[in-house]
């Protein structure tokens, strides 16, 4: 098969690039090895798709700890406002929620992927089910791709294969192989926005506990700095911790070694130590003859109580009217400053996003074209750039796709 533009990967970036290229008058083929395109897009935002963040470019970059500066050019030419205008032009109504997160009014990610796929088809894009196995490169320029089913010749090839996370959606790291074949450096790929493993058995003991409004502070004991502090939702699991707050925190953990990172959970962020002390005294005064291990039911979720009781060092059978001031202060410290030591991150397959990828200094920031092989572009998650949660990662996919597509002459 022969075409102007060959896009490898029909995910968020690939499909946006296909639509924009076809609208600019190019003949476009998308190679997608999964049965249907946009499988990952369909599970974004818990099936609701946090399509972008309603903020300015500076804020997107501030939320992109790796590759943000490189992305300035692309993000300036396709801003979150442009993303919203694009999807609205396809008939998708959008709404902005807490933290400027933008979702379709329908709360259905399928509406976003459906609109993209329809727009591509209407613009004449051919979506072909095949897997790109290797690039055809001659004289320093890309000529096409060898697929499982045959050869595809093109003037330009865009690698939009995504990363390594959630491989069942088709993101199996094929783009890195193609990049290496072209001579590109691929930086180490690990998970980001990923659940965190903890030492000890306490998380397992509280497994299944989901907390809505708790505080989390992460300290780097090597630099002696607080690297993350926020409030939100978290979940105790058999290996450690998950949930939105923990996924966000994970983006700040590097070169994890024993003793480096400490998570401190505040189970009662709305009460300071004094108020919590008063609250405990009040609760205890209503049940003076109750055993300590049976006294915290009004204050804490049931599954964390045995863990807190053990940590406090107070005898579980002690009557609450016999608990000393010193013991009460220890209990308060456990509830407001529950510490856990980080063992490591869960595997990249369980991550929301891949940290690492095609080295950005080998790509043009304006066109995402390779500096090593002409006519070859890399867009979306395959490049070494990743952001925090909030719609920023999809914004990177849209913006890099647009930058590449608008560079084709
Ligand atoms: C559970 C989850 C929730 C998320 N929620 C959000 C969210 O709400 N907001 C947000 O901004 N980001 C979110 N993300 C991140 C977001 O999904 C990614 O940033 C985005 O999908 C990256 O787009 P992409 O096109 O680069 O890669 P992908 O979407 O992964 O697409 C890559 C495509 O390439 C195909 N492919 C791979 N190799 C080959 C090959 N050799 N030949 C042919 N085809 C190939 C794959 O099948 C796939 O379809 C979420 C991620 C996950 C896992």
Q: What percentage of residues in the chain have a pLDDT greater than 70?
A: 100
Q: Which of 103, 113, 349, 394 to mutate to test the pocket of ligand 1 (most atoms within 8 A of CB)?
A: 394
Q: Confidence band (pLDDT; 50, 70, 90) for 291?
A: very high
Q: Which of 149, 352, 368 to mutate to test the pocket of ligand 1 (most atoms within 8 A of CB)?
A: 352
pLDDT at 241 over 90: yes
CA atoms within 13 A on the CB side of 265: 28
Tens digits of residue pLDDT in 317-369: 999 999 999 999 999 999 999 999 999 999 999 999 999 999 999 999 999 99
pLDDT at 379 over 90: yes
CATH number for the segment(s) 2-190+354-405: 3.50.50.60
Mean pLDDT of all residues in 24-46: 97
Q: 8 CB less than 6 Å from ligand 1?
A: yes
Q: What is the pLDDT of residue 131?
A: 98
Q: Cα 26 vs. chain centroid, distance in angstroms? A: 32
With left for phi above 0 and alpha for psi between -120 and 50, is residue 356 left, alpha or beta? left
Q: Which ranges in the chain are annotated with CATH 1.10.8.50?
A: 195-346
Question: Between β-strands 28-32 and 52-53, what pairing exists: parallel, antiparallel or unpaired?
Answer: unpaired
CATH number for the segment(s) 195-346: 1.10.8.50
Task: Write down the number of H helices and E strands in the chain.
Answer: 12, 18
Residue 40 Cα to ligand 1 middle (Å): 5
Residue nearest to atom 42 of ligand 1 (CA): 131
Greatest C-alpha distance within the chain = 86
Mean pLDDT of all residues in 311-318: 96
Q: What is the pLDDT of residue 265?
A: 98
pLDDT at 110 over 90: yes
Mean pLDDT of all residues in 132-138: 98
Is residue 141 within 8 A of residue 46, CB to CB? The reply is: no
Mean pLDDT of all residues in 52-61: 98
Q: Is the pTM of this model over 0.75?
A: yes
Residue nearest to atom 46 of ligand 1 (CA): 170
Mean pLDDT of all residues in 107-125: 98
Residue 65, helix vs strand vs coil = coil
Q: 195 CB less than 6 Å from ligand 1?
A: no
Tens digits of residue pLDDT in 36-49: 999 999 999 999 99
Q: Confidence band (pLDDT; 50, 70, 90) for 398?
A: very high
Mean pLDDT of all residues in 223-246: 96
Q: 53 CB less than 6 Å from ligand 1?
A: no
Which ligand 1 atom is nearest residue 162's CA?
Answer: 27
Q: What is the pLDDT of residue 409?
A: 82
Residue 204 Cα to ligand 1 middle (Å): 31
Q: 391 CB less than 6 Å from ligand 1?
A: yes
Q: Confidence band (pLDDT; 50, 70, 90) for 280?
A: very high
Q: Which ranges in the chain are annotated with CATH 3.50.50.60?
A: 2-190+354-405
């Amino acid at each position: 098969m022969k075409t102007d533009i060959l896009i490898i990967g029909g995910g968020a970036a690939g499909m946006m690039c296909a639509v924009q290229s076809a609208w600019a008058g190019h003949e476009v083929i998308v190679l997608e090895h999964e049965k249907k395109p946009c499988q990952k897009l369909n599970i974004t935002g818990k099936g609701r798709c946090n399509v972008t963040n309603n903020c300015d470019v500076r804020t997107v970059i501030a939320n992109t700890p790796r590759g943000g500066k490189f992305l300035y050019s692309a993000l300036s030419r396709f801003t979150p406002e442009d993303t919203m205008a694009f999807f609205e032009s396809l008939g998708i109504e959008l709404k902005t929620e807490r933290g400027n997160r933008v979702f379709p009014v329908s709360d259905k990610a399928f509406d976003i992927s459906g609109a993209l796929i329809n727009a591509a088809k209407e613009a004449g894009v051919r979506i072909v089910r095949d897997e790109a196995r290797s690039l055809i490169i001659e004289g320093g320029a890309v000529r096409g791709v060898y697929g499982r089913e045959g050869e595809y010749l093109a003037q330009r090839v865009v690698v939009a294969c995504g990363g390594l996370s959630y491989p069942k959606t088709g993101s199996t790291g094929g783009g890195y192989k193609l990049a290496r074949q072209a001579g590109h450096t691929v930086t180490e790929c690990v998970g980001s926005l990923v659940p965190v493993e903890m030492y000890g058995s306490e998380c397992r003991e509280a497994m299944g506990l989901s907390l809505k409004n708790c505080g989390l502070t992460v300290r780097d004991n090597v630099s002696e700095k607080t690297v993350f502090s926020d409030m939100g939702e978290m979940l105790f699991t058999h290996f450690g911790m998950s949930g939105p707050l923990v996924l966000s925190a994970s983006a700040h953990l590097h070169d994890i070694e024993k003793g480096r990172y400490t998570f401190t959970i505040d189970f009662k962020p709305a009460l300071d130590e004094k108020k919590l002390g008063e609250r405990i005294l009040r609760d205890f005064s209503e049940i003076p003859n109750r055993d300590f291990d049976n006294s915290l039911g009004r204050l804490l979720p049931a599954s964390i109580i045995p863990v807190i009781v053990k940590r406090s060092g107070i005898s579980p059978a002690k009557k609450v009217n016999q608990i000393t001031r010193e013991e009460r202060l220890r209990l308060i410290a456990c509830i407001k400053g529950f510490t856990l030591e980080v063992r490591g991150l869960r595997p990249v397959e369980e991550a929301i996003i891949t940290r690492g990828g095609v080295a950005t200094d080998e790509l043009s920031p304006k066109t995402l074209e390779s500096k090593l092989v002409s006519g070859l572009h890399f867009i979306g998650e395959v490049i070494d750039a990743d952001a925090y949660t909030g719609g920023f990662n999809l914004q990177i996919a849209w913006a890099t796709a647009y930058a590449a597509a608008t560079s084709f002459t």
